[in-house]
Chain A
Amino acid sequence: MTPRQIIGKIGLWFSVFVIVSPAILFFLWMASLSLKFEIDNAAYPPVFIPEHVAWKNYADVLASNRFLTYFINSLVVTGSATLLALLVGVPAGYGIARMAAHKSAIVILIARITPGLSYLIPLFLMFQWLGLLGTLVPQIIIHLVVTVPIVIWIMIGYFETTPLELEEAALIDGATRWQVFRHVALPIAKPGIAVAFILAVIFSWNNFVFGIVLAGRETRTLPVAVYNMISFDQLSWGPLAAAALIVTFPVLLLTVFAQRQIVAGLTAGAVKGG
């Protein structure tokens, strides 16, 4: 190695360190907060690695019976909104791609630009008139605002890249359009569906603004529940950080294990957006 190459190597690793450390340090600090007793969390200078580990913070959060309710709420809302979005969005993406109806994508663009709160005002009234407030139905429906555009957008892009020859051959053999979709197009599209599924799950799980307006005491999802913990105990950082970490942990896990799909989905949407 020449001196120039060595300097280059050092520069590269230094850059990598600078770029990645804010993310690493943040999540380590989050974990540290969640594993400390209040004495350590209120200490100055801050304690980074505590002498006594407060597993109790996690036990307390998980043991409260409300937490289980909120966790189930989150599962039901995200699960339903994602499955419904796949049910209508995958065929729609197929249809739009095959008809080359690119103009219809403008609706999805409008959905992307519109602030979430704008949907809440009219839909809030509708839910009130229909007497649905107090159930999980309003949240499931409004989460479709997030999940349906994601699924359609990704599936249009994916079906545009899958080969037409097989589908045409099947049509000539007398298959109906539905059979072609079901037995030829759909199996090939599995990786695309996986990408759409993962992104829809993450953005629905993370959603906060819809729940803060529509959820009552019994119908909170996890992000809303964690937010509401602040006002109750302002200074108990340990349990608060533990709850925050529990809420976001499934997403972080997905990010690490499905990184390839997430990157493909996010950049496909972005690059096609131009």
Chain B
Amino acid sequence: MRPPSYWPFVVPALVVVLAIIIFPWVFTIWMSLNEWKVGSSTTFVGFSNYLRLTKDPRFIEAIGHTLVYTALSVLLPLVLGTFAAVVFHQKFPGRGFLRGVFIMPMMATPVAIALVWTMMFHPQLGVLNYLLSLVGIPAQLWVFHPATVIPSLVLVETWQWTPLVMLIVLGGLAAIPSEPYESAQIDGASIWQVFRFITLPLIMPFLFIAGMIRMIDAVKSFDIIFAITQGGPGSASETINIYLYSVAFSYYDLGYGSAIAVVFFLLIVLLAAVMLYARQRMLWTEIASGT
């Protein structure tokens, strides 16, 4: 009783997906093989756009910025989000409301919150330097100095996306049975021991998923960086995505931009593959060592 008669339900969506997802991809790959600038004729150039990428210092620098930005924007939300999930897993009055407040940063319009962060980062009038001065820390230049710009942006990204990790881990915590906790309590285990040896292994699959989603989003991060620094000062916070924007829509070098888009996509797939591989290795060692 399952002939292909469900196809009519899928066809309209298939047409849309072909037009706005598959077609752009095919076309992007074709464009990346051409010298394609807005306002001039296009010529087929084979892989020379890709060769140009390997010799483009700005692109290579952008890869470095992207990797640093991504690593920090995965790790910090994972740690803080796990902590937040353990706390929200407890019962306390007002929990539902406070959880709603806690997830606001991730749902709020990124450009709007980026504007307010820009004001808060202001070296003279910003509230962050004022707060630092209260605890005796000297004023910082935040996003206005090459050395601190990426950590400052990561601060915003962490503030924004820790809630997503919290929600995913919270889902994991809800699925844990209560027996291991009861026996741990009888054995007199400390809170840290309970977390380290019972909770953490059981929420590992959820942490992994959260890490994967975080990685994919952090690599592609655009709104926050673009609205706060536009890649500056100089090119100190120029990630691949920001550079891609400049090439394609400031210089209108669409062929080269397409090559960046293709390499960028492959890089994301590669990072995801590395994470999957690391996870498999971890599982094998766990099985091998019998823990």
| Contact flags B203-226 to A (C-beta < 8 A → 1, else 0) | 001101110110010011011001
The answer to whether B112 touches A122, judged by C-beta atoms less than 8 angstroms apart, is: no
Q: Does A205 contact B (CB under 8 A)?
A: yes
Q: Which of B15, B108, B268 contacts A248 (CB 8 A)?
A: B108
Contact residues in A for B7 (Cβ distance below 8 Å)? 95
| Contact flags B77-109 to A (C-beta < 8 A → 1, else 0) | 000000110011010100010111111110111
Q: Among B45-53, B194-202, B254-262, B282-290, which stretch is in contact with chain A?
A: B254-262
Q: Does B113 contact A (CB under 8 A)?
A: yes
Q: Among B68-76, B115-123, B146-154, which stretch is in contact with chain A?
A: B115-123
Looking at the assembled complex, report how far the CB atom of B135 sits from the nearest CB atom of chain A, in whole angstroms: 14
Q: Which of A234-262 contact B (CB under 8 A)?
A: 237, 240-241, 244-245, 247-248, 251-252, 254-256, 259, 262
Contact residues in B for A205 (Cβ distance below 8 Å)? 109
Q: Does B2 contact A (CB under 8 A)?
A: yes
Q: Among A51-59, A65-73, A265-273, which stretch is in contact with chain B?
A: A265-273
Contact residues in B for A94 (Cβ distance below 8 Å)? 6, 9
Contact residues in B for A122 (Cβ distance below 8 Å)? 23-24, 27-28, 31, 258
The answer to whether B20 touches A145, judged by C-beta atoms less than 8 angstroms apart, is: yes
Looking at the assembled complex, report how far the CB atom of A180 sits from the nearest CB atom of chain B, in whole angstroms: 11
The answer to whether B104 touches A118, judged by C-beta atoms less than 8 angstroms apart, is: no
The answer to whether B98 touches A20, judged by C-beta atoms less than 8 angstroms apart, is: yes
The answer to whether B245 touches A117, judged by C-beta atoms less than 8 angstroms apart, is: yes
The answer to whether A241 touches B21, judged by C-beta atoms less than 8 angstroms apart, is: no
Question: Complex formed: what's the CA distance from A45 to B102 in Å?
Answer: 28
Q: Does B277 contact A (CB under 8 A)?
A: no
Q: Which of B220-265 contact A (CB under 8 A)?
A: 220, 222-223, 226-227, 241, 244-245, 248-249, 254, 257-258, 261, 264-265
Q: Which of A12, A168, A252 contacts B90 (CB 8 A)?
A: A12
Q: Which of B1, B28, B31, B107 contacts A251 (CB 8 A)?
A: B107
Looking at the assembled complex, report how far the CB atom of A6 sits from the nearest CB atom of chain B, in whole angstroms: 14
The answer to whether B257 touches A148, judged by C-beta atoms less than 8 angstroms apart, is: no
| Contact flags A83-101 to B (C-beta < 8 A → 1, else 0) | 0100111011011101101
Contact residues in B for A254 (Cβ distance below 8 Å)? 107
The answer to whether B241 touches A13, judged by C-beta atoms less than 8 angstroms apart, is: no
Interface of A is mostly: helix
The answer to whether B264 touches A115, judged by C-beta atoms less than 8 angstroms apart, is: yes
Looking at the assembled complex, report how far the CB atom of B10 sits from the nearest CB atom of chain A, in whole angstroms: 4
Contact residues in A for B9 (Cβ distance below 8 Å)? 91-92, 94-95, 98, 177, 181
Question: Complex formed: what's the CA distance from A26 to B28 in Å?
Answer: 40
Q: Does B181 contact A (CB under 8 A)?
A: no
The answer to whether B113 touches A121, judged by C-beta atoms less than 8 angstroms apart, is: no
The answer to whether B17 touches A42, judged by C-beta atoms less than 8 angstroms apart, is: no
Contact residues in B for A89 (Cβ distance below 8 Å)? 13
Q: Which of A7-57 contact B (CB under 8 A)?
A: 12-13, 15-16, 19-20, 22-24, 26-27, 29-30, 33, 41-46
Q: Which of A12, A152, A241 contacts B119 (CB 8 A)?
A: A241
Q: Does B111 contact A (CB under 8 A)?
A: yes
Task: Give the 7 A-B residue pairs with the shortest CB-CB distance, closest first.
Answer: A95-B9, A92-B13, A244-B112, A122-B27, A95-B10, A91-B9, A248-B109
Instruction: Give me 13 other A-B pairs in contact (C-beta within 8 A), A118-B264, A121-B261, A206-B109 excluded.
Output: A20-B102, A87-B12, A92-B13, A94-B6, A95-B6, A101-B10, A104-B10, A115-B241, A117-B245, A245-B112, A248-B112, A267-B170, A270-B213
